[in-house]
Structure 1
């Protein structure tokens, strides 16, 4: 379907096939990853005897590693003018680490596998997001990033569902779940190679020499850096989802039902991401982002103060909704604000700085939990979310005065 602008220019309203393919790649890899990660915190704490603060440290190091890698892979994709190759390498590394989880004899092997897996995530993340922006018309970017997030989060609830089923069928045999998770990871690689098409000369049509330099970072512009600053503060509010699983354990959720926490979260995420992206195309990014931040504040309040399984389910659902209203929106805002030839670098810097913040958030969340209980962890998250909301309001008012 096409629409006609007042100028007479035709606008295509159909999302490119490569956006759909990248979405299904994300979905398959997330099915694999979430089958493992939905059980990994419980496995480390109950089977291997790891402390909660150590779980936070491991998760923080893993995600920070991914984010640091993203800045270099994003810049490299600008320099080469190629995105797909780096995406294949990154997803390939993720797939190759999956058999290590069922074979690992101890915590050291799990940390190593998690580390390499996150390196793969770092390599693929920024080039993939830049590729989505490259192949999508500007008036459909919110929808494109929303669709990718929807398919990604669909995998994020199918994975835990499969984990629950296999745990039930095998009487809570963790290793069997980890082996089943290997299959969708390698299917993701096939879909990526077979169905994703990269446009000639990604970005502006010409590779950029040495995009990681002061001049290039300045060329990203003040609007871009405002968005990154908001994303960093926001990331301090949304520590690793491992703490949602541990919150489930604190209300007496059995180990084989632990993945249900991520199922509820990802289902809410999946149902909201695409509509939120479409709404941001039509109504503006900042208003949709503000709704997402209010949802996060509500989620933290419920998880801190509402007891029982009902409170857990409501808090986790609100957490998933906040992700649907924020994750794709931040990506679309970056794509809108960054020059085309520097999109890989722009997404890489976003992921680098937010990844450092995620490391700090996960370590802080674990320390607060161990010292004062889960209430302190979620109240701190609500505080950072409120700070982000105030910053987003200021950014919106500054844009109006420009």
Structure 2
């Protein structure tokens, strides 16, 4: 099916894990996956940059309706993520095949948005796109974990997320340029987005190995002859205390994390920005994430991944506070600071959570482990989108954010208590 799968078994092993050679802190497999994510994120963020305004201003959808749309799509992706993680492990560590299916499905969905001019059709296309994202996320993170020495996983995930965020930075710029240069701006954005998605699939097919031998600590050997995990084995991972606590806290904190789309809509309304400038708002988040993702990953490896994960939510809480308590610097200054704090939050939590999860499960369950924690977080954010949209419709955006900020503060304290005795690396 994939060109890389047709190579010899020796070539299919991650080159950084060859005997007699010290494994690289950031293997070539991670860089290849980073490039796939970069191209895919250019595609995705082009759509994300214009979609909230398109459905709210163009189609007349209410904040509650948009919250329902955003929440359902996130919920679909979360549930499919479990299937993607299990299928990748069940296939004998052929994570690439499952990830490729997910990337391919998302690539097909972008051109379909050209035909979607009503809310039900848009909802269906976005649900399919989220299905693709759900399928690919856990296998991709599992491949990064397997290809990287355990002591460098924070840095490797930081490099991957930095490349991914480069796409998030470029995507809105491309969307902005397309909107300014074309008459039928939204359709043109969807068409160009599809081209970038196809490029991402091609890079995955050509440059990511079909099977990855796990990098293990020096003096040990990779497991051989391990039976294929069953669905019961995958779900049974929650019996591990460390993984169970991590999943619970990820879900709890996700429940009090306002979605990016709502955050940008709030900023746009507070600043009264022109419509054509709306796609530029994610650039502040993406630029900050890009600049500090790798240093944050390295800091997590040295200072503790769980501590940094909790600190990142403290930074997000500070951003909410700035939006609720304007300073004499004016709304433009507040917006810049909020976007910088938003990017710092992602740099301190996104890849760091995946690295912490990798240390909590054995190699043969990496896909399922990543899926369980990621699903818990995504389901929490799904519920938050629904609740925040309803609160905005009832009380207004600022009041809804105030309630969410209080809930986030409480959730962070609870998570710190739950994780206080949980180590970053749980014995397997």
TM-score when normalising by structure 1: 0.92
Q: Choose which of 252, 258, 275 in structure 2 pairs with 1:239.
A: 258
- How many residues are paired up? 393
Q: Is the 8 A contact 2:165 2:286 kept in 1?
A: yes
Q: Name the SS of the counterpart of 2:60 in structure 1.
A: coil
Q: Choose which of 300, 307, 313 in structure 2 pairs with 1:287.
A: 307
Taking the aligned partners of 1:377 and 1:262, their CA distance within structure 2 comes to 21
- Correspondence for 1:41: 52
Residue 310 to residue 198, structure 1, CA distance change in 2 (3 Å): same
Unaligned runs of 5+ residues in structure 2 are 1-19, 215-221
Q: Is the 8 A contact 1:233 1:384 kept in 2?
A: no
Shift of 1:210: 4.8
- Correspondence for 1:376: 399
Unaligned runs of 5+ residues in structure 1 are 1-8
Q: Is the 8 A contact 2:29 2:208 kept in 1?
A: yes
Map 1:363-402 to 2 at 5 A. 363-399=386-422
- Correspondence for 2:180: 168
CA RMSD of aligned residues (A): 2.2
Map 1:175-324 to 2 at 5 A. 175-200=187-212, 204-206=223-225, 208-213=227-232, 217-218=236-237, 221-251=240-270, 252-306=272-326, 308-324=331-347
Residue 75 to residue 170, structure 1, CA distance change in 2 (3 Å): same
Map 1:81-230 to 2 at 5 A. 81=92, 82-170=94-182, 173-200=185-212, 204-206=223-225, 208-213=227-232, 217-218=236-237, 221-230=240-249
User: Which deviates the most, 311-320 or 27-36?
Assistant: 311-320
TM-score when normalising by structure 2: 0.86
Q: Is the 8 A contact 2:237 2:243 kept in 1?
A: no
- Correspondence for 2:370: 347
Residue 77 to residue 172, structure 1, CA distance change in 2 (3 Å): same
Residue 290 to residue 355, structure 1, CA distance change in 2 (3 Å): closer
Shift of 1:344: 1.0
Shift of 1:303: 2.2
User: Which deviates the most, 146-155 or 309-318?
Assistant: 309-318
Taking the aligned partners of 1:215 and 1:331, their CA distance within structure 2 comes to 17
